[in-house]
A and B are shown apart, each in its own frame.
Chain A
């Protein structure tokens, strides 16, 4: 008698949880629908300095001049794969105070959580840039490795092309970021950041 009750309770809870997740996910999709994406994300994630960074990056706008939004790279909410990589931040509840993030320790996981197929929406042909210009010989070798044609890599796009949208202060000394650093300038919003130095 006890055992069957336990089973019913367990199974009901499970079903309720699944239903709740589905409803929540659906609701978040619907509710986000009629507001600008970035503004919507920023209702919970206070990412003003991150927004400043991307607006000065090479990924501020796409090739047609349209602003690139958070969801074009980041997979918001409940994608099990990307959620797995963001699990530490879920548990610490820091996702609502991103300015407190230890960006250095997070960086690898965040890069893993940006799926390659999102980049490939614009970057279809890896032998050219979005404007159709052929990439360098070195770039071609790297992409051959990414596609497994010449050696192989463990990284996704963001793993090698980090710092194309956001630039934490500890990466500002890298030579590959010199142009981006110049564009960021001396704005107090990005001058001093908490967490990982």
Chain B
């Protein structure tokens, strides 16, 4: 047989084609097709204070997938936690029915049985000790309507101002900072400022792990314009520092000195904006004495770069560099979070950042703003704005001021004098009182205090007492606080209920209900309404048939204040993807910049000055002379190392949600201690070794991760692990102004086991 070349080639081609069909790397289309949703329902991510819009993919009534909301500020992007939310909803650890504790064990009960017991215990507590013997501890993760309702029930319905929430542990210092500097809470800029900033200072924040989608926006800004300068001030060299032009590592606690030193450099290099601060700033000493700019310069003489180098370990040259970077840029935005807030000088630290912006005039312009990052998805909208703290009333009003109380009473249509004039107990005081059974009944909602309170052993001991009573509304059976509650109520979770979240940038967005609650779960709105009814709260105080009624009332209550978001109607929230307050009318687009004429609707168009810090009687913001003062528990000879705690990107807070996602759980299944390479060498500690950590309060063994992330003299432990709760070792000292605990610094000693 004669074979031509052509035929041979054909045969070869045929056989190689057959080979190409196989191969292990085929694209898996089947799984995707099987899970294609029937509809997409608009919502907001359950996690951090970035507040990404999320579209929940529903198939056959179940949440099967998520994607980012293209119309919200995140433009469709999510972080790894947000992208993996669906399995959490259907976790086998979901609490699906009420429980009552009998003889130490939680026994299933009916709603009526459980709520009757709650009613009985709360009424007994009030009979015995008055309204101050009961308390409510809520959350920056509860919906706005839920917190507004709870606060109103207790303050207006039951006469108790013991209404607190976990934002006291995270944002109170930021509130204190903004209120003392500007007279009003909440940032004056928005996320849009990132896209225009030419310098961004990130201090006390591991933004890449704690606000990932915002960090993405910062990194994208730098990629778009490499001349944008990023300054990261953190004693840890975190992933955030990867994009930094200057990473400033300092002795923990000395950041106050560094910020004052930056101000010294700015003034001495003539970078301050004289025109701005002479017109719009009041200079006040720490003793609340009004002084002048010369007094400020004199105050700062204690903070020359050379002096601060000695106390902080930061080279004087670097302080000068970052101060110049900050001041010389055309638009500088600062971001900060728990590194500054969770300190006994938290309010002061917040003031000092705002000082730099007021000194340089980097405020009220697109790209220039002091932006406090909020940790939780609804600490702003839910707790801060609705006044869900022991000293607050809705829209920034204060319980201690009679005029404020009366204004709120009028708006609520209740008799003047209903609200107790004495502010309630703040979180640490409240839990101290509960631990001593002075507060006898606590309603805990959507938070996990047996894991998240500092120096937590005191409080879990207190929870074990039989002469106090705790009812807990919680979606997950494995939350630490479940071990101590007397009644456990099954809470509807995230996409199973409707309501509002208000994120860091003053954006109020609607979470639509997209699935039915599991088992016997009820929304916290329903639970609280039932509680109010049973407690005999005047129905006029709680005239709501659903959350939309609550929203409508709150919207109208805000109209009398600079929060005025009466233009954010439910209809608009359904159509749009979040609106920034103030928003006084239905056709108002929302406010990106506050305190500036033409941007802030609270300022009339004919106001004579461009800036009006209307929170202060004279319209001027305040530069406070805040001195450097160390931490409550500085390292000493016996405990020579600083212990700091924080988060990792894969886990949210106490891990009750993220540990349900296998990918996230396996990424960080257990807690560890991050040790500096030099410290490890000195102690003979190698990667993976067991290390004993001891503070004055407790001790714990953790596996070491040796790296150059922490600076020498510092160790870091993440707090997501319920089996290795680092809060047993932390300190519950608080900021005198904000009452926020100092989670970030305590003294520890480490040794190889």
Instruction: Let me know if B688 is at the binding interface, CB within 8 A.
Output: yes
Instruction: Let me know if B636 is at the binding interface, CB within 8 A.
Output: no
Q: Which residue of A lies closest to B686 (CB)?
A: A133
Chain A residues whose CB sits within 8 angstroms of the CB of B687 once the complex forms: 136
Interface size on A, residues (CB 8 A): 2
Chain B residues whose CB sits within 8 angstroms of the CB of A136 once the complex forms: 687-688
Q: Which residue of B lies closest to A138 (CB)?
A: B688
In the bound complex, what is the Cα–Cα distance between A85 and B410 (angstroms)? 88
Instruction: Let me know if A125 is at the binding interface, CB within 8 A.
Output: no
Instruction: Let me know if A137 is at the binding interface, CB within 8 A.
Output: yes
Q: Which residue of A lies closest to B688 (CB)?
A: A136
CB distance from A152 to the nearest CB of B (A): 13
In the bound complex, what is the Cα–Cα distance between A137 and B688 (angstroms)? 9
Q: Mark B671-707, 1 if CB is under 8 A from A, else 0.
A: 0000000000000000110000000000000000000
In the bound complex, what is the Cα–Cα distance between A136 and B704 (angstroms)? 12
Kindly count the residue-residue contacts between A and B in the assembled complex, taking CB atoms under 8 Å apart.
3
Could you tell me which residues of chain A, from 133 to 155, have a CB within 8 Å of some CB in chain B?
Answer: 136-137
In the bound complex, what is the Cα–Cα distance between A10 and B222 (angstroms)? 72
**Interface residues of B toward A: which range?**
under 10
In the bound complex, what is the Cα–Cα distance between A137 and B687 (angstroms)? 11
Q: Which residue of A lies closest to B687 (CB)?
A: A136
Chain A residues whose CB sits within 8 angstroms of the CB of B688 once the complex forms: 136-137
CB distance from B277 to the nearest CB of A (A): 46
Q: Which residue of B lies closest to A137 (CB)?
A: B688
In the bound complex, what is the Cα–Cα distance between A70 and B396 (angstroms)? 76
Q: Which residue of B lies closest to A133 (CB)?
A: B686
In the bound complex, what is the Cα–Cα distance between A177 and B600 (angstroms)? 54
CB distance from A126 to the nearest CB of B (A): 17
CB distance from B553 to the nearest CB of A (A): 56
In the bound complex, what is the Cα–Cα distance between A137 and B672 (angstroms)? 15
Q: Mark B541-581, 1 if CB is under 8 A from A, else 0.
A: 00000000000000000000000000000000000000000
In the bound complex, what is the Cα–Cα distance between A136 and B687 (angstroms)? 8
CB distance from A140 to the nearest CB of B (A): 11
Q: Mark A45-81, 1 if CB is under 8 A from B, else 0.
A: 0000000000000000000000000000000000000
Chain B residues whose CB sits within 8 angstroms of the CB of A137 once the complex forms: 688
CB distance from B753 to the nearest CB of A (A): 16
In the bound complex, what is the Cα–Cα distance between A136 and B703 (angstroms)? 12
In the bound complex, what is the Cα–Cα distance between A136 and B688 (angstroms)? 7
In the bound complex, what is the Cα–Cα distance between A137 and B670 (angstroms)? 15
In the bound complex, what is the Cα–Cα distance between A144 and B114 (angstroms)? 53
CB distance from A176 to the nearest CB of B (A): 14
CB distance from A80 to the nearest CB of B (A): 26
In the bound complex, what is the Cα–Cα distance between A50 and B688 (angstroms)? 34
CB distance from A40 to the nearest CB of B (A): 40
CB distance from A6 to the nearest CB of B (A): 25
Q: Which residue of B lies closest to A136 (CB)?
A: B688
Q: Mark A107-144, 1 if CB is under 8 A from B, else 0.
A: 00000000000000000000000000000110000000
CB distance from A53 to the nearest CB of B (A): 25
CB distance from A9 to the nearest CB of B (A): 30
In the bound complex, what is the Cα–Cα distance between A64 and B398 (angstroms)? 76
CB distance from B703 to the nearest CB of A (A): 10
Q: Which residue of B lies closest to A134 (CB)?
A: B688
In the bound complex, what is the Cα–Cα distance between A136 and B689 (angstroms)? 10
CB distance from A131 to the nearest CB of B (A): 13
CB distance from A173 to the nearest CB of B (A): 14
Could you tell me which residues of chain B, from 698 to 738, have a CB within 8 Å of some CB in chain A?
Answer: none
In the bound complex, what is the Cα–Cα distance between A6 and B367 (angstroms)? 89
CB distance from A141 to the nearest CB of B (A): 13
In the bound complex, what is the Cα–Cα distance between A111 and B687 (angstroms)? 29
In the bound complex, what is the Cα–Cα distance between A35 and B688 (angstroms)? 45
In the bound complex, what is the Cα–Cα distance between A13 and B688 (angstroms)? 63
CB distance from A81 to the nearest CB of B (A): 25
CB distance from A43 to the nearest CB of B (A): 43
In the bound complex, what is the Cα–Cα distance between A192 and B320 (angstroms)? 37
CB distance from A50 to the nearest CB of B (A): 30
In the bound complex, what is the Cα–Cα distance between A137 and B689 (angstroms)? 12
CB distance from A181 to the nearest CB of B (A): 15
CB distance from B586 to the nearest CB of A (A): 54
CB distance from A158 to the nearest CB of B (A): 24
Q: Which residue of B lies closest to A135 (CB)?
A: B688
CB distance from B80 to the nearest CB of A (A): 20
CB distance from A98 to the nearest CB of B (A): 34
CB distance from B576 to the nearest CB of A (A): 44
In the bound complex, what is the Cα–Cα distance between A98 and B187 (angstroms)? 63
CB distance from A153 to the nearest CB of B (A): 14
CB distance from B564 to the nearest CB of A (A): 52
CB distance from B432 to the nearest CB of A (A): 42
In the bound complex, what is the Cα–Cα distance between A137 and B669 (angstroms)? 14
In the bound complex, what is the Cα–Cα distance between A62 and B588 (angstroms)? 75
Q: Mark B1-32, 1 if CB is under 8 A from A, else 0.
A: 00000000000000000000000000000000
CB distance from B308 to the nearest CB of A (A): 31
Q: What are 3 residue pairs bridging A and B, where the CB atoms are less than 8 Å apart in the complex?
A: A136-B687, A136-B688, A137-B688
- The 3 tightest CB contacts between A and B, nearest first, are A136-B688, A136-B687, A137-B688
